Every structure is written in C-alpha cells, then in structure tokens.
Amino acid sequence: MATEVRQQLLEKGMVMLLRQGYHDLGIAALLEATDTPKGSFYHHFKSKEDFGLQAIDLYMLAVHQGLEHCLGDASLPPLQRVRRFFELSEEKYRTEGYLGCLLGGLGQELSGVSDVFRRKVEECFAAIESRIATCLEEAIKRGELPKNTSPERMAKLLVNCWEGAALRSRLARDPGPLRDMLDFYFGALSS
C-alpha cells in the first residue's frame, strides 16, 4: 500500500510538474489530487526537493524504456531507430497537450536556482545522449554516416535541438517545431 501511494504521488506529481512547474506545485494540491492524507507526503519524501528528484527518476525510467524499445530494434537501420525514438516522444507530447519534456521544463525553471536540480537534469541529458551516441556509432560502422563523424557531438546536438524545439512546441501547442527539427537534422545527416 505504501509503495502504491508513493507511486501515485509521483505519477500525478509528474503531470503537475509538467503543467505548473516546480515552484507552483503545492504539496497540498498534490495530496488533494491524489486523495492522500496530509502526513503521507513526508512519509515517502524527505522534502519537496526529494520528491522532485524522485519524479525525475521515474520520468527517466520511461525515457530509458523508450530508448531501449527504439534503439534496440535491430530490424531498423540505426538512424531510423534514433528518429523513431524522437517521433514516439513527439506522440507522447501530443497526448499531453504539447507540454514538452519534464527535464527541459525543470531545467529551465530550476537550473539558475538549484545546483542539485541542474546537475540532475544534466546527468539525465548526458545519459540520453550516451545511448543515442552508441546507436550513431553503429550508423558510422555501417557506413550510414561519415567515418569522421563524432557520435557524441551529434547526439548532444540532437538532444539540444530537440529541447529547443520542444520549448517552441509548448509555446505554440503545435508539433511543427518538433517535426521541422527532425526533418532538418536527419535531412542534413543524409546529404
């Protein structure tokens, strides 16, 4: 039961963090939204910061599952696998109303005021970039990319571009920036 309450708080909290941001997320509102007694929050989390960090961990579990699902699909060439991951991410954003990436949102909101969150979000982006770089390395070995391509640099560029496009999609509530970015990035790789 305790694990279920903690999970429910994190899952609903992720949605609220995405919609409202960290500073506007009230503990009382989260407890009310999950029909959880007041004392339960601090039974599961040391602080609001601890809650936020654990919400990022839960978010990253889903990200890593998506990466594994797409990048591990050996039936597709490596570049298609990478693009597929981002296309599925765009689809998830669509179902959420184009609110974007939790990492990007929290990174923008908190990086200037919290070194703990800044480091955590940067570690998460680095983990995503590393997984993508491994797939891009395979593309180089298969001749899909020039041998002098830096997979690490290309993965970082892709994630950076994606996060910028996610912000623009959030502002417009429209997938156009995400799709344009993917078309541009992968078009440039194939030319």
DSSP state of 70: H
Determine the Cα–Cα distance for residues 35 and 141; give it in Å rounded to an integer. 53
CA distances from 182 to 52, 82, 174 (A): 30, 10, 14
Assigned domain for 97 exists:
yes
Note the pLDDT tens digit of each residue in 23-79. 999 999 999 999 999 888 999 999 999 999 999 999 999 999 999 999 999 999 999
Cα 148 from chain centroid (whole Å): 29
The domain spanning residue 118 has which CATH number?
A: 1.10.357.10
Structurally, the chain folds into a number of domains equal to 1
pTM comes to: 0.94
Assigned domain for 18 exists:
no
Assigned domain for 89 exists:
yes
Assigned domain for 28 exists:
no
Determine the Cα–Cα distance for residues 168 and 163; give it in Å rounded to an integer. 9
Assigned domain for 14 exists:
no
Assigned domain for 99 exists:
yes
Assigned domain for 17 exists:
no
Domain that holds residue 142: 48-190
Note the pLDDT tens digit of each residue in 71-108. 999 999 999 999 999 999 999 999 988 889 999 999 99
Mean pLDDT of 161-175: 94
Assigned domain for 98 exists:
yes
